[in-house]
Structure 1
Amino acid sequence: MAPPAAIEVQGDSDTTGIILPDPLLAPIPSNDILGRRKKADKAQWGTAAPCDTANFRLKNYEGKPKAKRWDHILTEEAKSRKGNSLKNAAKYLSKPGLITLGGGIPSSEHFPFEEISVKVPTIGHFSEEETRKTGVTLTAGKHDLAEGKSIYDISTAFNYGQGAGSAQLLRWVTEHTELVHDLQYEDWACTLNVGSTSGFEAALRMFTRPGDMILSEVYTFSAAVDCATPLGIRVVGIPMDGEGPLPSAMDDILTNWDVNTRGARKPRLLYTVPTGQNPTGCTQSFARRKALYKVCQKHDIYVIEDEPYYFLQMQPYTGPNSPDVPPPKTHQDFLKSLVPSYLSIDTDGRVMRLDSFSKVVSPGSRIGWVTASRQVVAAYAKASDLSTQNPSGISQLVFFKLLDEHWGHGGYLDWLVHIRMSYTRRRDTILAACERHLPHDIVSWIPPMAGMFHWLKVDYTKHPDYPAESVESIQERIFMGNIDHGVLLMPGSYFYANVEEKHEDLFFRATYAAAPAEKIEEAIRRFGESIRKEFRL
């Protein structure tokens, strides 16, 4: 279905939109969202205008429970922040007839940009070649808001903004969150940020203090450990299987926590990447997520759900010579195929979900968002106001033109299905190459269900020099042998949650995200040669 034009979007959604009577909790189809938007206060579209997620939610949350309070976990740093006092005054800028000499906001006449244009795909024609031939050019002018052409323009986006982001894009991500997740409590909110790495660092400052330990998968995102270490935070690795962290192991760690042995108080935070986890590629099933959530409830653990790969959930893998599984037929089929998130099962408001456009649109945009209880989002936004300030206005404007005015929610879901199928083909390519080129008695793997990574287990006990030679030494020899053969794979030790804990496995991480099919095939062939030489096969 063709997307509405920019002026139609403004007219339908901001001035004449009709709210259907008592929509309750029924799912809202993606193509109904524009018509259900509440009539907006136009003042919220202005420069540095404050905005509130509650103004953009479409469903009725009456009867849902309130989130728990987290004062006992929030740090003194988080609780003491009062926000940016200068930005707090921005709420008065919309008063009619007000002459302001108070703010340090520069005049847009000094912005040397009259308009910006980007060429993007039309819905259903997403390939690079199709975009070159049939793509459309979206243009944002300097004064489109004042001239009634759009609700977002250069004069607004390129100026200072609020830590929560612009109302224009915050509305879109709020609607998207409702579309995808079945939220179980009333007082949830969203706030924009500059990406999930920044979001995780802010969460550490909000929920931990130097000397604390947090929980994560035994193999975890290395940048998360690198982020925590300078803050004086150590990570406890939870043993994993093919579905991620083991609930029984996590419960055992917390039940038997000994302050003297661990040198830290009992953890209060779980950091997890539930879908297509980096580095293991594993995806937690719905049952696994519910079980881990129950352990968090039992021990009062707050959850940081980092989900950059959530929409890279792929078609089922049916074997190297099996026919392709066709894509979902409808948006609803696509959404139903996704494993429900922690956010969807959270009844306590104990989950901070980190979403990102980095893996599905562009990492350089530095646009993401946080969903959590209003208390936590308010604390997060205050931190943003005094650190990152606000996400890039240029990025926000470009994303608004693409997502809201051009694709709409339905078009974005179509794009995500396109990405899903592309990654499915890449995943199948690397799995087929592994079947052809790797010695199966030495190297084993579980086909990833999502994400960008293939986790290869090497049976070091079959190395001719083991046990005289250590696992660490064998890993280093394989790594350098790979380099000699012209292929780079990341050693599993790079991803230890805690290097001081005992590790008895040997893994290498491969990614199928960027290289073309023929390069993936050749890389795995070279890895197979390297392994055979090292193990003297």
Structure 2
Amino acid sequence: MAPPSAIEVSAVTDISGVTIPDPLTAPVQSNDVYGRRRKADKSQWGVAAPADSVNFRHKSYEHKPKAKRWDHIISHEALIRKGNSLKKAAKYLGKPGIISLGGGLPSSEYFPFQELCLKVPQIGHFSEKEAQDTGIVITAGKHDFAQEKSIFDIATAFNYGQGSGSAQLLRWITEHTEMVHDIPYQDWRCTMSIGSTSALDMSLRMFTRPGDMILSEGYTFAVAVETATPLGVRIAGIPMDAEGLLPEAMDHILSTWDVSARGSRKPHLLYTVPTGQNPTGATQSKERRLAIYKVCQKHNVYILEDEPYYFLQMQPYTGTESEAESALQKTSHADLLQSLVPSLLSMDTDGRVMRLDSFSKVLSPGSRVGWVTASQQIVTMYQKHADVSTQGPAGMSQLILWKLLDEHWGHEGYLDWLGYIRREYTQRRNVILRACEKYLPREVVSWVAPMAGMFHWLRIHFRAHPSYPTLSIQDIEESIFLRVIDHGALVMRGSWFYANDQDEHDTLFFRATYAAAPAEKIEEGIRRFGVALREEFGIEG
């Protein structure tokens, strides 16, 4: 389904846009994006065509300040990388009548794929049953571009591309980013990644050198630690509370940094997951994010904002069934976006944030498509790295996502989808919390209801264990972990998420997820966890 050329007023639905009184100056709305698109030269959509996201922005940013430069923290590796010289010739492929005997782009004649068909949900009918019953089939042909049926086809997407990703999908990503974050400086750009883990690896190579320490939450994404360690980079964990990392603790760490004691220069990089943090489920409030940003300004720290769970923000848990259900009502696009905690990117007046976004948690992890938003200086370096390593995301994935997001759903349909999965995850969150209230012994376990994401962080009061202090925290953790497995459930050990396992730790946690199992399995898994805890601590009943 081709997008409309312009939409002035949305249909009246439960997820609706608004009338745009002045389309040249008003904020970009979900149902208004296509009407503001610039007319693009046909060559922009060709095979391996270079793409710059600045060409896809709708608003003028000339009145805003430019980003700071970050030459002083860029690694030697990133500074000397020149990118792929052969890809520079791709810009000439769009010249009318040119005969290419240059680049090693195989002819699509030898691609054994003629058509790609996908059955996907109609807007507003997103459940698996509705998709099965009423979903529609969208099709990508091999030569849709040449036949003027579409601007993206198999012949283009399945060939080599640029490190930035295809212009077609990059345009959609740029529009989405602009609509959600309203970035407050001039020279921001987007470029695609093959997911946030890869983006983190590449950014660490851009910003660090062996022997460095970076900052992160005291409990952090285990893969982040495992990515940094082989690079010779260690993590200084920042104490946390229910809202995530504590800015005053970060300020103290940086203000009192002792190079001799730490064995490293003062950190200049913060890695943080502000929303639904993995593993703790903590979500930083707007005030907390502003305070963190100010500390980073004070100490000139660059921020890696990893946000896979940003759109899985939820209403507060009340424990009351009727209130919980009323909180799940559908809202307008404007209300949905307004309800989100503002991103660090949206507060970034300096260009000191690299935001890592991904489709993994909201569409499909296997797509391996994400994107990076940062200043032009940083994005250009990232693209040079991608061009000689990961290249762009798989063209097959890009074509599938573009057909769904641009040609079929559009921005308004995607926001409808985000509203839908937000409600679905809220229901799952409520299931696990009700199960915890029903089955877990509160005398030895406590928790804070997560406000976003996929994870529930359970604190174990290990000092109540009958063998403490004869048994260490680590011994008690392992004993509980194995006992839970014996009872047929699996929860993750909190120690697996230490930012730095050399630090002193006097807390014991387990991480449970409500993302995968159906409701009845979530409840049963928590019941088994509760039985194991009662046995471990010698609690009757």
Q: TM-score by structure 1 length?
A: 0.96
Aligned AA (1:95): K
1:464-479 equivalent positions in 2, closer than 5 A: 464-479=466-481
SS at match of 2:72: coil
Task: Indicate the residue corresponding to 1:530 in structure 2.
Answer: 532
1:430-457 C-alpha deviation (Å, 9 max, x unpaired):
0000000011111000000000000000
Measure the CA separation in 2 of the matches of 1:460 and 1:275.
28
Q: 1:79: how far off? A: 1.2
Task: Indicate the residue corresponding to 1:365 in structure 2.
Answer: 367
1:505-520 equivalent positions in 2, closer than 5 A: 505-520=507-522
**Which stretch shifts more, 399-408 or 463-472?**
463-472
SS at match of 2:502: coil
2:6, 2:32 within 8 Å by CA — same for their partners in 1? Answer: no
1:460, 1:466 within 8 Å by CA — same for their partners in 2? Answer: yes
Measure the CA separation in 2 of the matches of 1:322 and 1:105.
59
SS at match of 2:467: coil
SS at match of 1:236: strand
SS at match of 1:72: helix
SS at match of 2:385: helix
Structure 1 unaligned segments of length 5 or more: list them. Answer: 14-18
SS at match of 2:216: strand
Measure the CA separation in 2 of the matches of 1:362 and 1:248.
37
Task: Indicate the residue corresponding to 2:145 in structure 1.
Answer: 145
1:23, 1:60 within 8 Å by CA — same for their partners in 2? Answer: no
Q: Percent same amino acid among aligned pairs? A: 67
2:425, 2:515 within 8 Å by CA — same for their partners in 1? Answer: yes
Task: Indicate the residue corresponding to 2:217 in structure 1.
Answer: 217
Q: 1:341: how far off? A: 0.2
Q: 1:96: how far off? A: 1.6
Measure the CA separation in 2 of the matches of 1:186 and 1:409.
23
Q: How many residues align?
A: 525
Aligned AA (1:23): L
Q: 1:468: how far off? A: 1.9
Matched, 1:194 2:218: no
Structure 2 unaligned segments of length 5 or more: list them. Answer: 8-19
Q: 1:12: how far off? A: 6.2
Rate the CA distance shift 1:322–1:456 in 2: closer, same or farther, 3 A.
farther
Measure the CA separation in 2 of the matches of 1:352 and 1:42.
31
Aligned AA (1:236): A
Rate the CA distance shift 1:332–1:22 in 2: closer, same or farther, 3 A.
closer
1:258-287 C-alpha deviation (Å, 9 max, x unpaired):
111000111111000000000000000000
Task: Indicate the residue corresponding to 1:480 in structure 2.
Answer: 482
Q: 1:320: how far off? A: 4.5
Measure the CA separation in 2 of the matches of 1:28 and 1:368.
22
Measure the CA separation in 2 of the matches of 1:273 and 1:289.
11
Task: Indicate the residue corresponding to 1:53 in structure 2.
Answer: 53
Q: 1:322: how far off? A: 4.3
Task: Indicate the residue corresponding to 1:403 in structure 2.
Answer: 405
**Which stretch shifts more, 323-332 or 122-131?**
323-332
2:328, 2:426 within 8 Å by CA — same for their partners in 1? Answer: no
Task: Indicate the residue corresponding to 2:119 in structure 1.
Answer: 119
Task: Indicate the residue corresponding to 2:428 in structure 1.
Answer: 426
2:269, 2:302 within 8 Å by CA — same for their partners in 1? Answer: yes
1:499-534 C-alpha deviation (Å, 9 max, x unpaired):
000010000000000000110111111111100111
Task: Indicate the residue corresponding to 2:437 in structure 1.
Answer: 435
Q: 1:254: how far off? A: 0.5
SS at match of 1:310: coil
Q: 1:41: how far off? A: 1.4
Q: 1:317: how far off? A: 1.1
Task: Indicate the residue corresponding to 1:16 in structure 2.
Answer: none
Task: Indicate the residue corresponding to 1:452 in structure 2.
Answer: 454
SS at match of 1:77: helix
1:307-358 C-alpha deviation (Å, 9 max, x unpaired):
0000111122111444311334200000000000000000000000000000
1:320, 1:432 within 8 Å by CA — same for their partners in 2? Answer: no
SS at match of 2:130: helix
Matched, 1:349 2:351: yes
1:102-251 equivalent positions in 2, closer than 5 A: 102-251=102-251
Measure the CA separation in 2 of the matches of 1:415 and 1:511.
21
Aligned AA (1:521): E
Q: 1:467: how far off? A: 1.5
Q: TM-score by structure 2 length?
A: 0.95
2:280, 2:457 within 8 Å by CA — same for their partners in 1? Answer: yes
2:83, 2:388 within 8 Å by CA — same for their partners in 1? Answer: yes
Measure the CA separation in 1 of the matches of 2:53 and 2:373.
10
1:190-218 C-alpha deviation (Å, 9 max, x unpaired):
00110000000000000000110000000
1:315, 1:421 within 8 Å by CA — same for their partners in 2? Answer: no
Matched, 1:521 2:486: no
1:182-240 C-alpha deviation (Å, 9 max, x unpaired):
21100000001100000000000000001100000000000000011011110000000
Task: Indicate the residue corresponding to 2:14 in structure 1.
Answer: none
SS at match of 1:444: strand
1:320, 1:428 within 8 Å by CA — same for their partners in 2? Answer: no
Measure the CA separation in 1 of the matches of 2:6 and 2:470.
73
Rate the CA distance shift 1:22–1:426 in 2: closer, same or farther, 3 A.
closer
Matched, 1:329 2:356: no
Aligned AA (2:459): K
**Which stretch shifts more, 115-124 or 311-320?**
311-320
Task: Indicate the residue corresponding to 1:37 in structure 2.
Answer: 37
SS at match of 2:357: strand
Rate the CA distance shift 1:20–1:357 in 2: closer, same or farther, 3 A.
same
Q: 1:44: how far off? A: 0.7
Q: 1:414 aligns with which of 413, 416, 437?
A: 416
SS at match of 1:505: coil
Q: 1:62: how far off? A: 2.2
Task: Indicate the residue corresponding to 1:311 in structure 2.
Answer: 311
SS at match of 2:98: coil
1:195, 1:356 within 8 Å by CA — same for their partners in 2? Answer: yes
Task: Indicate the residue corresponding to 1:504 in structure 2.
Answer: 506
Aligned AA (1:536): G
Measure the CA separation in 2 of the matches of 1:108 and 1:194.
24
Measure the CA separation in 2 of the matches of 1:402 and 1:495.
35
Matched, 1:281 2:254: no
Measure the CA separation in 2 of the matches of 1:12 and 1:146.
24
Measure the CA separation in 2 of the matches of 1:487 and 1:236.
32
Task: Indicate the residue corresponding to 1:71 in structure 2.
Answer: 71
1:195, 1:367 within 8 Å by CA — same for their partners in 2? Answer: yes
**Which stretch shifts more, 84-93 or 322-331?**
322-331
Aligned AA (1:445): W
